[in-house]
Structure 1
Amino acid sequence: SAPPREDRPSNDPDARFTKRQGKSGSTFGYKAHVGVDEGSGLIRTVLTTPANINDTTPADDLIRGDEAAVWADAAYDTHARRARLKAEGKKPRIAFRPNRHHPELPPRLKRYNRLIARRRAQVETTFATLKRRMRLTCIRYVGLMKASGQVLLASIAFNMRQWATIAA
């Protein structure tokens, strides 16, 4: 639940706090989740959630259904998701993460994570462009609906820029 109004850094009723693993302090706001086409680099799906929502929650909504393989970082890794993707005939190219029972990944899985990192980097490049070129470093509107609109418009601008590069 949200902290009392006087303890919040903003009057946005939908924004929430999150703490990033390995980083000090917390962040207040929203998270953008994107699905990027492997070949063209175009954004196919975009979702905005309050920052406290775990990355695995909206992950299935990012999958359109016509993908041959799904590439994702370790934040989206669950056994159920891997099994479901395999059952649907898709290749789950999701980075493995250590867990409570296996705090250290075996060398085989570490090597796998390194091998798929280059393909996954395309999404990180997308976020870098959204933040630096489209100035999506902060949400300028109050409320989840308006924040989603800002992220969606930035994604449309990104795709128009990508199309210009593809068509040239």
Structure 2
Amino acid sequence: MENLIPWSRLIAVIEPHYPKAGNGRRPYPLIKEGTLMDATIIEAPSSIDNKAGKRDPEMHQTKKGNQWHFGMKAHIGVDAGSGLTHSFTTTAANEHDLNQAANLLHGEEEFVFADNGYRGVEKRDELKDEPVDWHIAEGPSKVKEPRKHPQINKTLLSIEYMKASIRAKVEHPFRIIKCQFDFIKTRYRGLMKNDSKLAMLFMLANIARVDQILRA
């Protein structure tokens, strides 16, 4: 194995693109001036057919739209320029996205784009002094009426479309780990082991993204 893939050379390739597991900030060599943040739910087995006869106590259920989900949530901060994940946290599925926003900043960004689940983020005590321009999407109810008269509300809709197009990159790491790596359901009980699993998957997703950039 050492002859095929020398460990020191592999580490040299991986380390610059390795997101920090848990909740710390990590300077990132390819970071530009902005961060995109989002979260996704990862289902956990809801069966109680196990030795304890209980569902995983560290997972939780939450409602999204009209559907209930049981599992965990992965929160990520992504470089707006390259689309690489620079930080992430893991929580139970019922954790509000706003609670993890401060852990998804690397501290040097000038702007942040996020969906409407992060509305009010700039007023939170841990973030109100951050020198960051927040660009948060309006909720569906705020753009429902303007969409009926697009010519009259052209400016508002253009701004929202611009926000959505920039935020789109934050979905790519989720697509890679769920669709390409098939991590749509937790493999272990408890958050810690799944956190470590996700750290590896986001690191590999970064390498896949860098490969795409280099090929382009």
TM over 0.5: yes
1:145 aligns with 2:192: yes
Higher relative contact order (CA 8 A, sep 6+): 2
Larger Rg: 2
Return the TM-score normalized by structure 2.
0.64
> TM-score normalized by structure 1?
0.80
> How far apart are the structure 1 equivalents of 2:178 and 2:95?
21
Q: Conserved in 1, the CA contact under 8 Å of 2:113 and 2:135?
A: yes
List runs of 5+ in structure 1 lacking aligned partners.
1-7
Cα deviation code 1:104-138 (max 9, x no counterpart): 45756554322210000111122112210121211
Question: Does residue 1:42 correspond to 2:84, yes or no?
Answer: yes
Contact 1:70 1:91 in 2 (8 A): yes
Structure 2 unaligned runs (5+)?
1-45, 49-54, 147-152
| 8 Å contact kept, 1:9–1:28 | no
| Deviation for aligned residue 1:88 | 3.2
Per the alignment, do residues 167 and 109 of structure 1 end up closer, same or farther by CA in structure 2, a change over 3 Å counting?
same
38, 48, 68: which is aligned to 2:110?
A: 68
Q: Secondary structure at the match of 2:196?
A: helix
Q: Could you tell me which residue of structure 2 aligns to residue 12 of structure 1?
A: 56
The answer for the alignment partner of 2:201 in structure 1 is 154
* Residue 68 of structure 2 corresponds to residue 26 of structure 1: yes
**Is 2:181 the counterpart of 1:134?**
yes
Decide which moves more: 131-140 or 88-97. Answer: 88-97
Structure 2: which amino acid aligns with 1:164? D
Count of residues in correspondence between the two structures: 154
Contact 2:85 2:202 (C-alpha < 8 Å) held by counterparts:
yes
Please name the residue that 1:3 is paired with. Answer: none
Identity of aligned residues (%): 34
Report the Cα distance in structure 1 between the residues aligned to 2:184 and 2:97, rounded to whole angstroms.
19
**Offset of 1:97 from its aligned partner?**
2.7
- Partner Cα distance (1:9, 1:59) in 2: 31
Q: CA RMSD in A?
A: 2.5
Give the corresponding residue for 1:5.
none
Deviation track 1:12-56 (CA, whole Å, cap 9, x = no partner) reads 120000000x2x331100011111111111100011110011111
